[in-house]
Amino acid sequence: MSDQEKLIEQLFDSEDDLTEKQKKIIIAAIESFAEKGYASTSTSEIAKKAGVAEGTIFRHYKTKKDLLLFIVAPMMAKLLAPFVIKDLNKVLNQKYDRFEDFLRAMIENRLKFLNNNMDLFKILIQEIPFQPELKEQFKEHIVLKVYDRFKQIVEHYQEKGQIIDLPPTRVIRMAASSIFGYLIARNLIFPEVDWDDETEIEETIRFIMHGLSPKR
Amino acid sequence: MSDQEKLIEQLFDSEDDLTEKQKKIIIAAIESFAEKGYASTSTSEIAKKAGVAEGTIFRHYKTKKDLLLFIVAPMMAKLLAPFVIKDLNKVLNQKYDRFEDFLRAMIENRLKFLNNNMDLFKILIQEIPFQPELKEQFKEHIVLKVYDRFKQIVEHYQEKGQIIDLPPTRVIRMAASSIFGYLIARNLIFPEVDWDDETEIEETIRFIMHGLSPKR
Amino acid sequence: MSDQEKLIEQLFDSEDDLTEKQKKIIIAAIESFAEKGYASTSTSEIAKKAGVAEGTIFRHYKTKKDLLLFIVAPMMAKLLAPFVIKDLNKVLNQKYDRFEDFLRAMIENRLKFLNNNMDLFKILIQEIPFQPELKEQFKEHIVLKVYDRFKQIVEHYQEKGQIIDLPPTRVIRMAASSIFGYLIARNLIFPEVDWDDETEIEETIRFIMHGLSPKR
Amino acid sequence: MSDQEKLIEQLFDSEDDLTEKQKKIIIAAIESFAEKGYASTSTSEIAKKAGVAEGTIFRHYKTKKDLLLFIVAPMMAKLLAPFVIKDLNKVLNQKYDRFEDFLRAMIENRLKFLNNNMDLFKILIQEIPFQPELKEQFKEHIVLKVYDRFKQIVEHYQEKGQIIDLPPTRVIRMAASSIFGYLIARNLIFPEVDWDDETEIEETIRFIMHGLSPKR
DNA sequence: TATGAATGAGGATTCATTCAT
DNA sequence: TATGAATGAATCCTCATTCAT
């Protein structure tokens, strides 16, 4: 629980005024939503697990859906935050000469984040298809903001001749597929396997780099 | 509808005795489950959409979950069928000299299948995490049967020196990630984009082949 | 109960297909609404009193308010029906030479109706101020249709010199006040008093007639 | 608001110690009760409208019903006060030779009061049927006190030969019906009409006087 | 076989009321 | 005195499931 709590604080730090009860509700909700799905989780169940009265939930979140959004929206924001910083290019130029290094840095950073917040990530991908608000947020964040950044990055390294000269969309998709493929295999499909993260990540980077190497 | 019907017939041919009403129920259920999720779809809604009485659904499928399983289980079986045929190796030896050709054949075949049954695929991946029966079926089919086949195939081409000498698990994951990444991007995330299937598939294959090419 | 049932059948005859359960629900609802008010009556209470499951109520009437409207709307229609018949004037010319006779006929007829349906009338006047749908129906029926008829009638007897030459609106209000005053006193304020209907009505008519007699 | 406040002060002057907050609560409650009915108004709504915390309401009025009674009871008292004064007969002998003058004085006085307190009057007549406490107060005040006075008055003018020799109950009912009929038509049924109070009142008096004139 | 009325447990939500601050 | 978070019973309503026809 103390682990969970830290994560919660991290994720919801913007609104520092989270009551003890609010935290409990959120922790309980995340746990239940991840385990049984949003629609199959009853508010009474969350209340029981959180050790509060059912009414308390509705005092803080007008509806069950509000609770979901309150939980999931910051997750999306935090997840994508690093890609939305300004002057990303400058940072890149100075920091990562090679695409591979950029890739490694990003994977390590974001993968750690996701591994630590797997329940939230699970809720996110489960509910995006069914919650128009989330879908919209997702499109807006991903498509408009993050994609733009990635495109610049890809073009940057393409100009440097480090990666193959394909439409950035495609390049991004391929890299992203490989990364998320690992994330999902590791956490959702075979969580019981004893993964050697370091090796897997290195190999995934190698796979992507070879796959994207400029034509010989 | 006639399209849908054909697919239904294909998928459920094993039990040839599907009533007209049963078909309608299944079509309606697939549509609704895919659109709103299993838990958020009511049986009365399915009945209305199918044009039958509520009781009729329960005459054919004892519970709502039975209906789900009846829909999803054959899907999984059909999807994986080609990989479960005996003597796959022999076939391979004779048919596909190159891993790339095998890959291409498989992608074309299975991707077409999935594209045609996207609603079902959506239900499948949405519900596997929440339905123990499905999870079990999935593990059994995938892990025990399909993985074994794939392992043999990968080892076969590794012996031939066509692909890199990594643990087959990892090889399979990487290839699978790339393929499913395309499938999901195309159908679920950006269905509105006008995809050039042929090119995308060719490029995906190229990506995988380069990524998996033996070290120089 | 059998009395009640007859009334119910009379009032809701248009839709002859009222189930046994539906009738029970309506009778229970009328009783409770009249006794405690619409807002203070719970659906579970109605269900219990009607001897049906709570769900049954909602199978027949989508919402609690629908139930109210289903009960109250026909009441309003039936109450006003006699005044909406065409050729009322002709009827009058032939039938009632004197305003007094018209008044007597009307009071006897409508007052009997209201006395028999006091619960419904109570619900009607209690809820009209709070239910926009009812308010609208009321205005439409009363103001547009019934008032028009009454106006014609009043003018008819004014031309004959039988009643005072005041704006019909005012004439109608005065007559109506006296009649409803009696109705309300008799049934709502002092229901325990042993009223001599015949005398009271005769006296009320006398009061109205004198009050409306043309100036000497 | 200042209008409202004055009225409040007038009505609740007996307990001079009304806090600013208490006044706000009462004003808010009157407004909401009149608009949506007692049962359909939530205490949180009143609190919000009054700009106080929910708890504050319950600090001053133990229950929601207490609040209602605190609002409605003084209304009833004030409304009826003039009729409860002692030595009414003396007053009458000296002041009003004619029943008509008495009627006019009373209507003008009480009707003005009611017109100014229509919200309260609305709440009163809406809730009397459902609140036993109010019903009892009403019966006690009206039946025991006011009716007695009115009876004396009626008999007084009957002795003088000014009004018809009918049971006072009936006489009172008829006059009251006409007066309340006007009040209700004017304020509740057709508030949007531009009423000419003076004429209407004069005509109402005329109607009553004629209706109650001794037999010729 | 098919129906759809009936069920009643369970769902989300509201609400009057309490109580620690 | 005033607050407003917390409560949990009660509310309206939904839903999967049953069963007589």
Q: With b meaning 16 or more CB within 10 Å and e meaning fewer, what string describes A25-53?
A: bbbbbbbbbbeebbbebebeebbebbebe
- Contact of B181 with A186, CB cutoff 8 Å: no
Task: Give tens-digit pLDDT for D135-179.
Answer: 998 888 887 888 888 898 899 999 999 999 999 999 999 999 999
Q: Is residue B65 part of a domain?
A: no
Q: Please compute the mean of the pLDDT values over residues D33-47 and round it to a whole number.
A: 97
Report the pLDDT averaged over residues C176-193. 94
Instruction: Give the CATH number for residue A6.
Output: 1.10.10.60
Going from the C-alpha of B119 to that of each of A193, B28, B37, B46, B67, the distances in angstroms are: 30, 11, 11, 15, 15
Which of A37, A60, A83 delimits the end of a domain? Answer: A60
Dist CA B53 CA D199 (whole Å):
65
Residue A94: inside a domain: yes
**Helices C168-184 and C99-116, packing angle to 10 deg:** 40
Q: Does residue C162 belong to any structural domain of this protein?
A: yes
The helix (H) or strand (E) run that includes residue C215 is: none
**Mean pLDDT, residues C167-188:** 96
Residue C156 covered by a domain: yes
Show residues of chain B in contact with A129, CB under 8 Å: 37, 122, 126, 188
**Judgement on whether residues B23 and B111 belong to the same structural domain of the protein:** no
DSSP state of C130: T
Q: Is A65 among the domain residues?
A: no
Tokens describing residue B12: 């459920």
Instruction: Find the helix packing angle between D2-11 and D20-36, rounded to 10°.
Output: 100
Selection from D8, D172, D7, D165 nearest residue D83 by Cα:
D172
3-class SS string, D147-177: HHHHHHHHHHHHHCCCCCCCCHHHHHHHHHH
Q: What is the largest CA-CA distance in chain A?
A: 66
Across residues B8-27, what is the average pLDDT? 77
C181, C82: one domain: yes
- What pLDDT score does A120 carry? 93
- Paired tokens of B41: 């779809």
Question: What's the rounded Cα separation, in Å, for the pair D72 and D88?
Answer: 26
Asked if A181 and B185 come within 8 Å (Cβ–Cβ), the reply is: no
- The reported pLDDT for the residue numbered A1 is 47
| CA torsion, ordered B107, B113, B114, B119, to nearest 10 deg | 170
Residue whose pair of structure tokens reads 């009307």 in the numeric block: C106
- Could you tell me the CA-to-CA distances from D87 to D82, D107, D141 in Å, in that order? 11, 20, 18
Question: Rounded to whole angstroms, how far apart are CA atoms A18 and A8?
Answer: 10
In a shared domain, residues A7 and A29:
yes
CATH number of the domain enclosing B175: 1.10.357
Which residues in chain A come in under a pLDDT of 50? 1
Report the amino acid identity of residue C109: N
Query: From the DSSP assignment, how many helices (H) and strands (E) are in chain D?
Result: 12, 0
What is the predicted pLDDT for the residue at B77? 85
Q: Does residue B66 lie in a domain region?
A: no
List the single residue in B122, B130, B173 with the smallest CB-CB distance to A181. Answer: B173
Q: How many structural domains are present in chain C?
A: 2
Q: Is A142 exposed, middle or buried (0-12, 13-18, 19+ CB in 10 A)?
A: middle
* Chain C neighbors of D177, CB-CB under 8 A: 177-178, 180-182, 185
Long-range CB pairs of B144-147, under 8 A, 24+ apart, other chains included: B145/B80, B145/B83, B145/B84, B146/B80, B146/B83, B146/B84, B147/B172
Q: Are residues B78 and B54 in the same domain?
A: no
Residue A8 near residue A27, CB atoms below 8 Å: yes
Is residue C67 domain-resident? Answer: no
Q: End of a domain among A38, A60, A82?
A: A60
Higher pLDDT, C13 or B206: B206
Whether D115 and D195 share a structural domain: yes
pLDDT at D81: 80
Q: Residue B2: pLDDT band by 50, 70, 90 thresholds?
A: low
Residue among C172, C173, C190, C203 with most chain D CBs within 10 A, to mutate = C173
Q: Is the same domain home to D48 and D76?
A: no
Half-sphere exposure (Cβ direction) of B95: Cα atoms closer than 13 Å: 14
Grouping H, G, I as helix, E, B as strand and the rest as coil, residue B48 is helix
pLDDT reported for residue B5: 66
Evaluate whether residue D66 is within a structural domain.
Answer: no
Helix ranges (H only) for B42-146 are 43-50, 54-60, 64-84, 88-95, 99-116, 118-127, 132-138
Compute the 3-state secondary structure of chain C and give helix, strand, coil in percent, each to the nearest 5: 75, 0, 25
Average model confidence (pLDDT) across chain B: 88
Same domain, D145 and D42: no
Do chain B and chain A touch with ≥3 beta carbon pairs under 8 Å? yes
- Considering only CB atoms, which chain D residues are within 8 Å of C39? 37, 39-40
D8-11 own/partner pairs: CB under 8 Å, 24+ apart = D10/D78, D11/D74, D11/D75, D11/D78, D11/D117, D11/D120
DSSP for chain A reads -HHHHHHHHHHTTTSTT--HHHHHHHHHHHHHHHHH-STT--HHHHHHHHTS-HHHHHHHSSSHHHHHHHHHHHHHHHHHHHHH-TTHHHHHHHH-SSHHHHHHHHHHHHHHHHHHTHHHHHHHHHHTTT-HHHHHHHIIIIIIIIHHHHHHHHHHHHHTT-S--S-HHHHHHHHHHHHHHHHHIIIII-TTS---HHHHHHHHHHHHHHHHSPP-
Cα Rg of chain D (Å, integer) = 19
- Chain A residues with CB under 8 Å of B204 CB are 174
Q: What is the pLDDT of residue B205?
A: 96
* pLDDT for C3 beyond 70: no
Q: Is the CB of B23 under 7 A from strand E?
A: no
Same domain, residue pair D191 and D109: yes
* The two structure tokens encoding residue D69: 């009674």
Domain end position, chosen among A12, A28, A60: A60
Is D5 a residue whose pLDDT tops 70?
no
CA distance B170 to B147: 11
Whether C162 has a pLDDT exceeding 70, the answer reads yes
pLDDT one-digit tens code per residue, C47-92: 999 999 999 999 999 999 999 999 998 888 888 888 777 666 666 6
- Both tokens of A141, joined, read 């964040």
Whether residues D116 and D203 share a domain: the answer is: yes
Going from the C-alpha of B6 to that of each of B10, B116, B117, C118, the distances in angstroms are 6, 11, 11, 62
Which of A32, A62, A35, A34 lies closest to A44, judged by CA? A32
pLDDT more than 70, % of chain C: 89
* Residues A199 and A104 occupy one common structural domain: yes
Residue C50 Cα distances to A123, B75, C23, C44, C174, angstroms: 44, 48, 9, 10, 41
User: Residues 32-61 of C near strand E (Cβ < 7 Å)?
Assistant: 52-56, 58-60
The answer to whether D60 CB sits below 7 Å from nucleic acid chain E is no
Give yes or no: residues A28 and A117 share one domain.
no
Q: Half-sphere exposure of residue A58, counting CA atoms within 13 Å on the CB side? A: 7
φ/ψ of A68, rounded to 5, equals -55, -50
Chain B residues at the A interface, defined by Cβ less than 8 Å, are: 36-37, 39-40, 122, 126, 129-130, 166, 170, 173-174, 176-178, 180-182, 185, 188, 200, 203-204, 206-208, 210-213
The percentage of residues in chain D with a pLDDT greater than 90, rounded to a whole number, is: 61
CA distance C160 to C155: 8
Closest residue to A130, CB basis, from B37, B166, B181: B37
Q: Which domain holds residue C98?
A: 72-212
Task: State how far residue B201 is from chain A, nearest Cα, in angstroms.
Answer: 11
| Nucleotides in chain E with any atom closer than 7 Å to protein CB | 1-20
Same domain, D81 and D154: yes
